[in-house]
Amino acid sequence: MKVQNKVIIVTGGGSGMGRALVLNLLSKEAKVIAIDINETSLQETVALAENKKESITTFVVDITNKTSVEKLLIDALAAFGYVDGIINNAGIIQPFIKVNALSYDTIERVMNINFYGTLYMTKTFLPHLLTRPEAHIVNISSMGGFLPVPGQTVYGASKAAVKLLTEGLHSELMNTNVKVSVVFPGAVNTNITKNSGINTPQSSAKEAKSMKILSAAKAAQIIIDGMENNQYHILVGKDASLMDFFYRLNPQRAANSLLKKCRGY
């Protein structure tokens, strides 16, 4: 689906990759509804829109609250009259610790934002999207959604759930006007760690410096290009593409390879 003149919702649009997605869509003449839980961050995104400000509307929404998401549908239709697509980008990571040390509160928070937030948005907007001439759902999973990252096991589980949810939707909606894509970003330069309230372990920080981390703007370009080309899987970054190939070739060796890189997390 070409995004020009379409109304697209982006969750987590106040910062990081979400902000980059908003700005990329605006540059392609789309109308954007940016939502985030942080009002200040949303207004910073609006300020960066410059001469495209008339094409962006913002709402402060907690996507883990089903009632708030249902209200967003009403507000979005009041603002533009219709919605053509949603990009479920909002997400957080977990503390860099093993499952045995994670509290249930933390586990539930990760699952509620990453999986249930995506599910609530999808189920709430899907009936409307099915009425549009063409529409698109883009869900952001992660490289950690198909490859186990030590110290991020529950985060990976939440993103694996997003992966299977999205692939299932793709099959269910095959003969409809609604296209579906799932995105697997590798290392992208965003503030997800800070927004998650997490301190990066020293080993992970050193590893990050040795990697070629993709800019949020470049990641957004890849995602929107994939959306416009109706890609089934959108792999963002050479690391994601390489590990996708390696994991499909030999899952255990791929997992062990990543484990060696993450020693001391």
- Closest to 138 measured CA to CA, from 18, 4, 55: 18
What DSSP element (H or E) covers 175? none
Q: Could you give the 3-state DSSP secondary structure of residue 152?
A: coil
Quote the Cα angle for 55-82-227, to 5°.
70
Question: Would you call 155 a catalytic residue per the annotation?
Answer: yes
Evaluate whether 46 touches 58 at the Cβ level (below 8 Å). Answer: yes
Give the start-end residues of each E strand in the chain.
7-11, 31-36, 56-60, 85-88, 135-140, 178-185, 188-189, 214-215, 233-236
Neighbours of 74 (CB within 10 A): 9
Q: Which residue has the tokens 């290009």?
A: 225
Question: Could you give the CA distance from residue 65 to residue 252 in angstroms, rounded to a whole number?
Answer: 37
Give the start-end residues of each E strand in 186-232.
188-189, 214-215
Question: Could you give the CA distance from residue 28 to residue 5 in angstroms, rounded to a whole number?
Answer: 8
Residue 190's region, left for phi above 0, alpha for psi from -120 to 50, else beta, is beta
Catalytic-labelled residue, pool 120, 155, 247, 265:
155
Supply the residues annotated as catalytic. Answer: 155
